[in-house]
Homo-oligomer: A and B are copies of this chain.
């Protein structure tokens, strides 16, 4: 039930971002060991007041925090992290946490 949430700010070229993200980054990141589910925002990321400064929110599901740590340490995880730098100028916000339903 652990999550890695990756929040990308609006890029200069949204179409180029999406092309790389869905064409290259997702296929690569889906190979990360321990990844159980990979969910991305579809359409605008909004706030209650209107548009946000964010382009995309990705939520990667793992069994637990240890699995996320292992994923970061893996060769594929490091390749995915390196790939992010090829299509962003502004590094995304990454948040890692365990999750529980209330």
Q: Which residues of A contact B (CB under 8 A)?
A: 3, 5, 7, 22, 26, 30, 37-48, 52, 54, 57, 59, 65, 72, 93-102
Interface centre among A3, A22, A95, A101 (most CB of B within 10 A): A95
Total copies of the chain = 2
Interface of A is mostly: strand
Q: Which residues of B contact A44 (CB under 8 A)?
A: 97
**In contact, B30 and A48 (Cβ under 8 angstroms):** no
Choose from B40, B43, B52, B65 the contact partner of A95 (Cβ within 8 Å).
Answer: B52
Contacts of A52 in B (CB 8 A): 95
- Find out whether the CB atom of B99 lies under 8 angstroms from the CB atom of A41: yes
